[in-house]
A and B are shown apart, each in its own frame.
Chain A
Amino acid sequence: MLTAEYWSRAGENAWCPGCGNFGILSALKQALAELQLEPWRVCIVSGIGQAGKLPHYVKCNFLHGLHGRALPTAIGVKLANPGLKVIAVGGDGDMYGEGGGALLHAFRRNPEIACFVHNNGVYGLTKGQASPTSAAGFRTRATPEGTALPGFNPLAAGIAMSGTFVARGFAGDREGLTRLMVLALKHKGFGFIDILQPCVTYNKVNTHKWYQERVFDIGTRQHDPLDIERALERAREWPEADPEGRIPLGLFYSAQRPSYDEQLPVLRQGAPVEARPDPRKVEQAIEEFRQHGRD
């Protein structure tokens, strides 16, 4: 039995004390333990930022790549070796800003990958600028008058793109987040979780207390994740519009369609990493260009 502690990797941690990332890391290790996966069969692909450092603190394979590029890289890993459990990790700047295009297409493609986004509504590693999920009016040194843009709504976007697993978790709700992560990791398709995460250093609005007072489990309100209209309504609930408003957590939407991996004919021949070139097939391909004199 591999415990959550087994998934820890010793070494210095570069996150701020009290950071929401710790709750996410802890839930992830718990989820991996509950699934009884073996570390060598798991691969985390992360982007750049404080969230992108997460794989350094987990005992498994990882590729800590480029800002915004974790998803296409993770898809490449998964296509080459479908036997790996692949997890893409990044922050809100990473997945919703720099990698926003890739995210939309990942929903479309529906690869069998779990995607965990640490969403703290601010750029941390660059020292506190407004991010795509900062609320309108959010003041930073880069936006001294307050950002004029409304925040990006990842859940509504995922639902609109027919995501097959569109969920929201909260770093402060370790049990609920672990449950969602287990489901996302078992999901045959793109298991997406937007994870609300307080930033103790740069986001003084969306604090741990602010979230605690507002979050609730969508599952306690008879939510049906097949109901796209209701899922969109839930995705639009946010305290910005309504000071009394609350923040739903849980699985919002799950479109029923096959994963990309299941549809790709070449994967039915086995894992591409195991395939060996067949000289006869190469010769056949060459022969197609030979022009003989007579029929």
Chain B
Amino acid sequence: MAGIDFGLIVTGQAGQGLQVIAQALAGVFVRSGYHVFVSQDVMSRIRGGHNFTRVRIATKPVGADADRAQMLVALDAKLASLHLSELADDGLVLIDPDDGSRPETGHEIVAVPLRRLAREHGREVMTNSVALGAALALLQHDPEALRRPIQELFAGKGQAVADENLACARAGFDFVCAEGRTCRERIPRIAEDAGRLFLTGAQALGLGAIAAGVRLVAGYPMSPATPIFEFCARNAAEAGIAVELVEDEIAAINMALGAAFAGARAMTCTAGGGFCLMNEGLSLAGMTETPVVIMVGMRPGPATGLATRTAQADLLFCLSAGHGEFPRAVLAPADPEQAFHATIRAFRIAEEFQTPVIVLFDQFMADATRTIGNLQLPIANLQSAERQSLPEGAYRRYEASESGVSPFLRPGTKGQLVYVDSDEHNEEGHITESAEVRVRMVEKRARKAGGIAVMLEPPEVWPGPGRKTMVVGFGSTRGAVLEAVERLRGKGLDVGVLHICDIWPFPIDSVRAALEDSRRVITVENNWSGQVARLLRQEAGITAAGSVRRFDGRQFAVAEVAAGIERLAEGKTG
């Protein structure tokens, strides 16, 4: 059997329940043995407008949207025309004829009276479930497979609601079967139990924090970080986390710092705008040498920008945020697997080097759902010892050391006192304005960067260093870049990938080693100014020949990345 790589788009208004269709279909095909990738395109509104979800179902692992869709499900027929250019020539469009609008297209149209069937078998609000059943029939899959996902999606609303939705899905399924309509491609069950995990980047970030033993999460809701906070809140009791919804981001970071100073692993999560408010607190963490993890979700700015969309434009901001000079680490995971492990690493670095660590992600990565094999717990980290060593004599919080790290002691340790100051301070922790002490303390803090660099995961180089053209990226573009480069290599282009997760302290040596024998370096980034290119030049002295950039708030498509690389690899600049 040839590999399946099927694209499906579900479109409709906010509030029409697109997620139910996408998540239930994804659930069906994940359980049937496929790799599934689901991405969201959502407007910043609660009802109406135009939202859509892309679902990709494939026999091989996938980390990006499909180039073309073979099926378009339009819960609002007049929105269908917006997606026709993305639909393969032999793709079909599922609409409700009662919407009174029929897209003008040569594509095959399947008209199913979605709302009428919903009213007959349940309630009109279940129109989405009718569409779900109809879509499954077009794919010629077993309708029984819907039982479990529908049950799970509606479990909270009572059995009656779940049953009605199932009846509606069945009605949609039967209608399509009776009409004898099918898609070109059939997507049958291919494995009895692949047992894969299916989760979003945000959920993986939350799982990473739980695995790292986070004890306090403070935050204020802001897209795309809200799902992380809500995930922690849902798991608070079970995982033993104080989850604090606070009045603003300023309170969030200072509360996390207070908890970390007291000896509990603490974090906050926010978006670029919220992180702006946290900058003073970030600087406090640097000065007081307090371990804290800050998850920063990028969305297009400046200011409110495109609130529910994606960007990679806050990279340079995160590298220099906060007044004054102090060491930090910035980790930018690409997908749920990296998100989980990078978060655990972030807590370890924060704790060992008593400094803030930023986990940088974006809306696309946070909201996309995908299948992964497993998440393995790093046992060593979970069993890490109590980070206390009782001093002989009076404790000095900022005792000088070669590594720059002073022994951490928790306030509340019998017979010892801990002094921490946001002013420049002496080794004891008291205010000083001495020029000599100031120099010693600046140098002590700065020394920690060397140790942090050793803890970082080196960048990923595929298929190896020194290809004629090397494509450099970071974070969520990984899936699209790898697939695009694989495709170009298939066409005979000598091209490779350098993809960075742990981006600060910048891995100068490994970047140089991967790129030094290449003729041409290209960056791929979700921003206007080419921030990765600037970083390459500034830190490694390497000038990129050009950048493939996108800054409209949407994620890259594979074909777009491939075309961009091909254009630049041929020698044009852009």
Contacts and interface: CB of A to CB of B under 8 A. Distances in A.
Interface stretch (B79-87, B160-168, B178-186, B417-425): B417-425
B192 A294 contact: yes
Given A56-B430, A285-B235, A272 B246 contact: no
A63 to B, nearest CB: 5
Nearest to A74: B258
Given A77-B259, A282-B377, A62 B210 contact: no
A76 B417 contact: no
Given A285-B210, A289-B199, A293-B195, A275 B259 contact: no
Nearest to A282: B211
B266 A76 contact: yes
A84 B194 CA distance: 50
Contact of A292 (B31, B263, B430): B31
Interface centre among A43, A76, A78 (most CB of B within 10 A): A76
B251 A285 contact: no
B213 interface: yes
B248 A77 contact: no
A81 B192 CA distance: 49
B513 interface: no
A281 interface: yes
A156 to B, nearest CB: 20
Contacts of A272: 215-216, 240-242, 259, 264
A151 interface: no
Interface of B: 27, 30-33, 148, 189, 191-199, 203, 207, 210-213, 215-216, 218, 235-244, 246-248, 250-252, 254-264, 266, 280-281, 284, 288, 371, 375, 377, 379, 382, 410-423, 430-431
A43 B238 contact: no
Contact of B259 (A61, A79, A294): A79
A276 B148 CA distance: 35
Contacts of B264: 79-81, 272-273, 275
A66 B431 contact: no
B255 A72 contact: yes
A243 B151 CA distance: 72
Interface of A: 11, 14, 39-41, 43, 45, 48, 53, 55-56, 59-66, 68-69, 71-81, 83-84, 101-102, 104-105, 264-267, 269, 272-273, 275-279, 281-286, 289-295
A53 B247 contact: no
B297 to A, nearest CB: 20
Given A56-B430, A81-B411, A290-B197, A62 B419 contact: yes
A76 B192 contact: no
B430 A11 contact: yes
A80 B240 contact: no
Contacts, number: 221
B414 A273 contact: no
A61 B207 contact: no
Nearest to A272: B215
B422 A40 contact: no
Contacts of A48: 422
Given A66-B280, A72-B246, A266-B237, A77 B193 contact: no
Given A277-B212, A283-B377, A285-B239, A61 B258 contact: no
Contacts of A69: 250-251, 254, 280-281, 284
Contacts of A267: 242
A81 B412 contact: yes
A164 B415 CA distance: 33
A25 B267 CA distance: 34
A105 B430 CA distance: 30
B247 A279 contact: no
A75 B255 contact: yes
Contact of A102 (B242, B251, B256, B257): B251
B215 A41 contact: no
A43 B411 contact: yes
Contacts of B30: 291
5 contacts: A63-B421, A75-B258, A79-B264, A278-B240, A282-B211
Nearest to A260: B244
A62 B420 contact: yes
A63 B430 CA distance: 10
A40 B255 contact: no
A291 B411 CA distance: 44
The 3 closest A-B pairs by CB, nearest first: A76-B258, A293-B193, A277-B213
A61 B419 contact: yes
B254 A72 contact: yes
Contacts of A269: 240
Interface centre among A48, A75, A269, A275 (most CB of B within 10 A): A75
Interface centre among B255, B258, B263 (most CB of A within 10 A): B258
B195 A276 contact: no
Contacts of A295: 148
A76 B218 contact: yes
Contact of B242 (A14, A45, A266, A281): A266
Contacts of B418: 61-62
A293 B284 contact: no
A76 B191 contact: no
B122 to A, nearest CB: 23
Given A55-B419, A69-B280, A273-B410, 9 more contacts: A11-B430, A43-B411, A45-B258, A69-B250, A75-B255, A83-B412, A266-B242, A272-B241, A281-B239
B192 A293 contact: yes
A290 B196 contact: yes
Contact of B236 (A75, A266, A286): A266
B298 to A, nearest CB: 24
Contact of B255 (A14, A55, A76, A282): A76
B422 A65 contact: yes
A101 B256 CA distance: 17
A73 to B, nearest CB: 4
A64 B418 CA distance: 11
A281 B240 CA distance: 10
A268 B417 CA distance: 27
Contacts of A284: 238
A130 B148 CA distance: 66
A28 to B, nearest CB: 16
A83 B262 CA distance: 11
B284 to A, nearest CB: 5
A270 to B, nearest CB: 8
Nearest to A63: B420
Contact of B262 (A55, A81, A277, A278): A81
